[in-house]
């Protein structure tokens, strides 16, 4: 889980996208919720889930969570 906050003075709808960085080709990475409306100063937790395909011993998957729109 990671925290997403609204540092702005007004209400904002935030849309998120998860971008896997060099995962094995059959792995899927998701973020939920992918969109939320936050009041000024409000924070909420989002969950990043990694769904492995074929399990690979010692695999390390890096991801970036990007804000698509404020």
pLDDT value, residue 70: 61
- Report pTM: 0.77
- Encode the chain in three state secondary structure: CEEEECCCCCCEEEEEEEEEECCCCCCEEEEECCEEEECCCCEEEEEEEEECCCCCCCCCCEEEEEEEEC
Parse the chain into domains and list their residue ranges: 1-44
Per residue in 12-65, pLDDT (tens digit) is 999 999 988 888 788 889 999 999 999 999 999 999 998 888 766 677 778 899
70 vs 59: CA distance, rounded Å:
34
């Amino acid at each position: 889980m990671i925290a997403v906050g609204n540092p702005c003075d007004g209400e904002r709808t935030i849309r998120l996208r998860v971008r896997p960085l060099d995962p094995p080709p059959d792995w899927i990475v998701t973020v939920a919720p992918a969109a939320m409306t936050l009041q000024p100063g409000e924070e909420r937790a989002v969950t990043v889930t990694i769904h492995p395909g074929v399990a690979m011993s010692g695999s390390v998957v890096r991801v970036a969570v990007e804000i698509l729109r404020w």
